[in-house]
């Protein structure tokens, strides 16, 4: 009901003019769009917040282009935001994680439309070449061809059968496997666990490996993107946000050690993994020479927006086209401001 009401409001605003007015009112704000992976098979049905159909992405960027939104590279946009000469309603396109599906499905669209973009690369699986383990486990449980699965010995000490129709029971089993494998096993052992789990669930794990479903780009593909002008930036090595200065320094240094030989330049832009961030992270990032950091917090960016807490719109298959248009035109920003004002008056 709430979604239908929002779509109705946005549709009326588009038809009667407030959408255009919102774009003018928020013209000084930098729009940063965020994408993750794209659907090589049925991933968009499994996790529409993360995986998008290629045709949906094409529709999004074609809208941006046809409606005259200037699309800038991240470095240029942030520099011009600070100088006060950002073109009205400027847009930056970003991708998190560096999924292979971005290389396969989204990059050709960007090339065709000649649009710059930034890919925040988490590099561990770029070197390993396997599907991201925790995603593979969750996906195979979702795709399972059976109603019940025997998880005896996985993790050690586990016995009994898990009902996949019981969401809570299935969820507990998934995260028990992930927690054990990520903390107690080697990467090779995790691959063997995933393959065995696939057998028990009736899902062909080797097909996921072959098709590179849930895999990231390899270094050769990243180098190809960099040579073509794609901006590759920091997203930690292991896709985690350590809560210590030394831990974060290690993640950034390991991340740079993979990226910088591919790009030939210093990586200074950062994206918080899973949007996890706090103010105490900011001085640690500054110490590591990070110039900007993007969050998963919604909103537009203005000259006074902290450069280590830039806001973005997280797009996905679950987002209606009219909602996307409301965000990029600034209508959602205007409504957020109104709600904040009303909330403040009521307190």
pLDDT tens column, 104-147: 999 999 999 999 999 999 999 999 999 999 999 999 999 999 99
Mean pLDDT of 258-262: 97
Report the C-alpha gap between 53 and 63 in whole angstroms. Answer: 16
Question: Is the distance from CB of 27 to CB of 75 less than 8 angstroms?
Answer: no
Percent of the chain residues past pLDDT 90, beyond the cut: 88
Report the C-alpha gap between 309 and 17 in whole angstroms. Answer: 32
Mean pLDDT of 48-67: 98
pLDDT number for residue 8: 73
Residue 89: φ, ψ to 5° = 60, 40
Residue written as tokens 């993107």? 225
pLDDT number for residue 153: 86
Mean pLDDT of 305-313: 98
CA atoms within 13 A on the CB side of 189: 11
pLDDT tens column, 10-46: 777 777 788 899 999 999 999 999 999 999 999 999 9
Of 257, 251, 129, nearest in space to 188 by CA: 129
Report the C-alpha gap between 338 and 324 in whole angstroms. Answer: 19
Q: What is the pTM of this model?
A: 0.95
Q: Which residue has the higher pLDDT, 15 or 275?
A: 275
Q: How many CB atoms lie within 10 A of CB 41?
A: 16
pLDDT tens column, 165-212: 999 999 999 999 999 999 999 999 999 999 999 999 999 999 999 999
Report the C-alpha gap between 308 and 283 in whole angstroms. Answer: 10
pLDDT number for residue 312: 98
Q: Which residue has the higher pLDDT, 160 or 131?
A: 131
Of 194, 164, 163, 167, nearest in space to 178 by CA: 194
Domain 31-127+215-316 in this protein, CATH class: alpha beta
346: pLDDT strictly greater than 70: no
pLDDT number for residue 345: 52
Helix runs in the chain, H state only: 2-16, 18-25, 43-46, 54-66, 74-83, 100-101, 107-113, 124-128, 133-143, 167-184, 187-201, 205-211, 219-227, 245-263, 282-287, 321-328, 331-346
Mean pLDDT of 228-241: 97
């Amino acid at each position: 009901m709430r979604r239908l009401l929002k779509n109705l409001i946005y549709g009326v605003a588009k038809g009667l003019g407030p959408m255009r007015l919102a774009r003018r009112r928020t013209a000084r704000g930098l729009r940063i769009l965020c994408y993750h992976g794209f659907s090589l098979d049925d991933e968009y049905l499994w996790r529409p917040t993360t995986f998008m159909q290629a045709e949906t992405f094409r529709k999004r960027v074609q809208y941006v282009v046809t409606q005259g939104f200037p699309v800038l590279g991240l470095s240029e946009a942030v520099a011009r935001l600070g100088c006060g000469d950002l073109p009205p309603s400027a847009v930056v396109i970003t991708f998190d994680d560096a999924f292979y599906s971005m290389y396969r499905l989204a990059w050709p669209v960007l090339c065709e439309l000649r649009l710059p973009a930034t890919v925040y690369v988490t590099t561990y699986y770029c070197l390993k070449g396997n599907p991201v383990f925790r995603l593979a486990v969750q996906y195979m449980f979702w795709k399972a061809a059976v109603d019940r699965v025997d998880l005896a010995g996985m993790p050690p000490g586990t016995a009994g059968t898990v009902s996949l129709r019981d969401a809570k029971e299935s969820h507990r089993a998934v995260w028990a496997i992930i927690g054990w494998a990520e903390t107690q096993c080697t990467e090779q052992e995790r691959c063997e666990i995933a393959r065995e789990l696939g057998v028990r669930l009736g899902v062909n794990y080797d097909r996921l490996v072959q098709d590179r479903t849930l895999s990231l780009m390899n270094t050769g593909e990243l180098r190809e993107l960099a040579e073509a002008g794609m901006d590759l930036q920091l997203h930690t090595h292991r896709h985690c946000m350590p809560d210590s200065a030394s831990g974060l320094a290690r993640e950034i240094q390991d991340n740079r050690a993979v990226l910088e030989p591919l790009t030939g330049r210093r990586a200074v832009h950062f994206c918080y993994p899973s949007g996890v961030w706090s103010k105490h992270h900011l001085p640690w990032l500054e110490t590591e020479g990070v110039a900007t950091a993007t969050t998963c917090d919604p909103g537009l960016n203005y000259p006074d927006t902290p450069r280590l807490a830039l806001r973005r719109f997280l797009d996905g298959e679950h987002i209606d086209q009219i909602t996307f248009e409301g965000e990029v035109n600034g209508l959602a920003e205007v409504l957020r401001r109104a709600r904040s004002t009303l909330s403040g008056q009521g307190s």
